[in-house]
Amino acid sequence: MDKNEKLIMVVDREKLFAKKYFNGFLDAKEEDYEKIILKNYYFVKRGLAEKDYNKKQPIPYAIIVKEKQIFAYQRASSTKEHGDERLQHKWSWGIGGHIEKTDDAGNPIKNSMSRELEEEVGLKNPKAMLIGYINDDSDDVGKVHFGLIYLIKTSQNLKPTSPELQQGSFLPISKIEEIAEKEQVESWSKIALLALKPLFS
C-alpha cells in the first residue's frame, strides 16, 4: 500500500492545545498530552494529514539509554530506504513513527512505539517512561507532528535491523553533543537533547 493511503492517527490542533500551547520541549509533569490524545484521536489518510496544519500527528519518540550512553543513528540517504526525503541522512537519537490503524487497541501510542522499536533495532517488550513532549512549529515537518518522548533503559547491545537506519550505536552524551554541533541532525533530536542533558549530569 502507498504510504500516503495508510490510515494514521491524528488529533485536532485545537483540542490538543485547548489548555496549553508550547513550542519546543515541555516536561511531562507540565501537562498530560498523552491523555488528551487518547481521548480525542481519530484516523485519516497520511497523504491528507501531511498537508493539514489544523491536525497534529502524534509520534512516540523513544530514546534508548544503556549505562549512561544513548543510542544514536544516521538515517539512510536514499528515497528507496527512507521515504521521507525531509529526514534522509540526518542523525537522530529518537526512534518512532506514525501511529497506524493497526495499532488501535489498548494504548495505540505504546503499541506503535513497541512495533517501531522491534522493527528498527530488534528491541522487544520495552519498559518506557514518558519524560516530555516536542512541538516544533518552525518547519513543515514539525507543523503537522507532535512528539511524545519516552525514555527506555536497556542492557541489550542493539544495532539497526531496518534498512531505514544507515548506522547506529550507543554513544556517550559528549559525542551526542558533538554530533549535534557538527552534523545534520533532525530538529526533534536537538530539542530532545535539552531534556536528556539533566539526566546525564
Q: What is the mean pLDDT of residues 61-67?
A: 95
User: Tell me, what's the pLDDT at 78?
Assistant: 61
User: Tell me, what's the pLDDT at 85?
Assistant: 63
Q: Which helix (H) or strand (E) holds 71?
A: strand 69-75
84 pLDDT tier (thresholds 50, 70, 90) = low
Between the CA of residue 22 and those of 30, 126, 132, 134, 145, what are the distances in Å?
11, 28, 12, 9, 13
Is the pLDDT at 38 greater than 80? The verdict is yes
Q: What is the mean pLDDT of residues 42-51?
A: 96
Superfamily of domain 3-200: Nucleoside Triphosphate Pyrophosphohydrolase (3.90.79.10)
Is the pLDDT at 15 greater than 70? The verdict is yes
Listed by start position, the domains of the chain span: 3-200
pLDDT tens for each residue of 90-103: 999 999 999 999 99
Q: What is the mean pLDDT of residues 167-186?
A: 93
Is the pLDDT at 193 greater than 70? The verdict is yes
Q: What is the mean pLDDT of residues 134-143?
A: 92
Is the pLDDT at 34 greater than 90? The verdict is yes
Nearest Cα neighbor of 20 from 135, 147, 165 is 135
Q: What is the mean pLDDT of residues 17-29?
A: 96
pLDDT > 90 in the chain, percent: 73
The span from the CA of 17 to the CA of 4, in Å, is 26
Is the pLDDT at 146 greater than 90? The verdict is yes
Q: Which residue type, as a one-letter code, is found at position 9?
A: M
Is the pLDDT at 81 greater than 50? The verdict is no
Distance in Å from the first CA to the final CA of the chain = 45
The span from the CA of 151 to the CA of 128, in Å, is 6
The span from the CA of 115 to the CA of 89, in Å, is 22
125 pLDDT tier (thresholds 50, 70, 90) = confident
Q: What is the mean pLDDT of residues 60-76?
A: 93
Are 187 and 193 in contact, with CB atoms under 8 Å apart? no
DSSP state of 50: T
